[in-house]
Amino acid sequence: MSQTAASQTAASQTAAFEPGPALRLTLAAFVALLRDKGFRIGPSEAADAGRLVTGAAGQRAATLRPALKALFCGRRSDWVAFDALFDAHFLRKGMKNAVTLAGSAGESGGARTLKQMQDDQAARRSSPALDVSREAEAPEAGEEDPAGTREGASRAENLAETDFRKIRDPELEAEAHRLAERLALVMRRRLTRRDRILSAGPRLDLRRTLRKSVARGGLPLDLVRKGPKLRQLRLVVLLDASGSMNNYTGVFVRFVHGLLDAFRQADAFLVHTRLVHVSSALKERDAARALDRLGLMAQGVGGGTRIGAALADFNRWHAARLLTSRSCVIILSDGYDTGPAEEIGAEMARLARRCRRIVWLNPLIGSDGYAPVAAGMAAALPHVDLFAPAHNLKSLAALEPYLAKV
């Protein structure tokens, strides 16, 4: 906790840059603080740091900072956060701010900016005590209830065909969520399997061919060929979280969480008035925790959608990094949009050029008499490879064979 770190700093403040046991204590407290903030620091790094501070480099903050920074940071987010933490700990600058930020994360109400949400999220990650209280409040936390897992097969089947809109019973809803997640897990497992060694292929694998020839007295009769590894499917999911999608978002989020959890090459975005990258939240192992984090990122969900603008954002900032020729973009949306339809058309065209397939899942297709007449939907349609219903679990399951072919 940052508070304890602060008090430790205060205690050892006077001795901060004199080599010796006091400095080593300060360093240990610093390592604890960084670990708290999500830095991955192993014992060997800590030991190396100890060697550094007792050596010549430990004398001045100016030399110590870049050295510890290089040693303790592992990724860009660490890199960005490090200086402030170092100052707070060793030079006692800005510590007050850090503490109040962590303390204020509990109250979140009203409209918030994305920046605020990210700040809150960062602060929350650093305060486990807060997490516990939040998870206890969250309704999803009750789902681990063992009684809930004993569902009958027929009931599950029925549930699979029920329109998400018609699920009113919270218990049934929880069950639908679980099924969606399990379905996603099964799909993920099948989709990530890959083959490497081929019986016929372009390049001879001499190493394996010779290995096999041992049984034939050294004559290379069985030829083994090496093909390019089948590259994994990359998934990008854009989930519409506007007001009109309210009835579906819950179950879709669980479905997407199931897909993303441990799926290496998948990313998810929430689309409402703007685009929010939610992969990190959804890659959280624990579903309840993921939803909790997602909730923080998605404040302001339920308003109008501007799909066109969100797609433009995606094309501009994320497409180059996330899309390859093996990418499949899944858009989960009813296509009701408050922006100009031409924008959707143009952005969909750009998107279509960059990825293998675009799947648009529309929960409205399930209802009788639906036609994609909404201007936005009509403009997007020419660029969509698969336009499919997604109003119940069965329709989600039907997606798998299609994805497997990408």
Binding site for another protein (CB under 8 A): 40-42, 45, 48, 51-52, 55-56, 63, 66-67, 69-71, 73-76, 78-79, 206-207, 210, 218, 228-229, 231, 264-265, 316, 320-321
Nearer to another protein, 46 or 184 (CB): 46
Q: How far is the CB of 29 from another protein (least distance, A)?
A: 20
Q: Which is nearer to another protein, 43 or 146 (CB)?
A: 43
> d(Cα 150, Cα 125) in Å, to the nearest integer?
33
**Closest CB 152 distance from another protein, rounded Å:** 40
Q: Contact, 347 vs 311, CB < 8 A?
A: yes
User: What tokens does 359 get?
Assistant: 């799947």
Which CB, 10 or 206, lies closer to another protein? 206
Q: How many CA atoms lie within 13 A of 198 on its CB side?
A: 11
- Shortest approach of another protein to residue 37 CB, angstroms? 15
Residue 265 beta carbon to another protein: minimum distance, rounded to whole angstroms = 8
Cβ 142 to another protein, closest distance in Å? 32
Amino acid at 66: P
Q: CB of 394 within 8 A of CB of 184?
A: no
Token reading at 230: 């089948």
CB of 130 to another protein, least distance (A): 24
Q: What is the DSSP letter of 16?
A: T
For residue 232, give Cα distances in angstroms to 66, 117, 189, 325, 327.
39, 33, 11, 11, 9
241, 249 Cβ separation under 8 angstroms: yes
CB of 21 to another protein, least distance (A): 22
Nearer to another protein, 319 or 332 (CB): 319
Q: In terms of CB distance, is 206 or 398 closer to another protein?
A: 206
Q: What angle do CA 201, 205, 209 make, to 5 degrees?
A: 110
Q: Which is nearer to another protein, 41 or 179 (CB)?
A: 41
Q: How far apart, in whole angstroms, are the C-alpha atoms of residue 336 and residue 364?
A: 11
The answer to whether 187 touches 403, Cβ cutoff 8 Å, is: yes
**Residue written as token pair 């407290």:** 29
Q: Between residues 319 and 379, which has the closer beta carbon with respect to another protein?
A: 319
Residues 6+ apart with CB under 8 A from 158: none
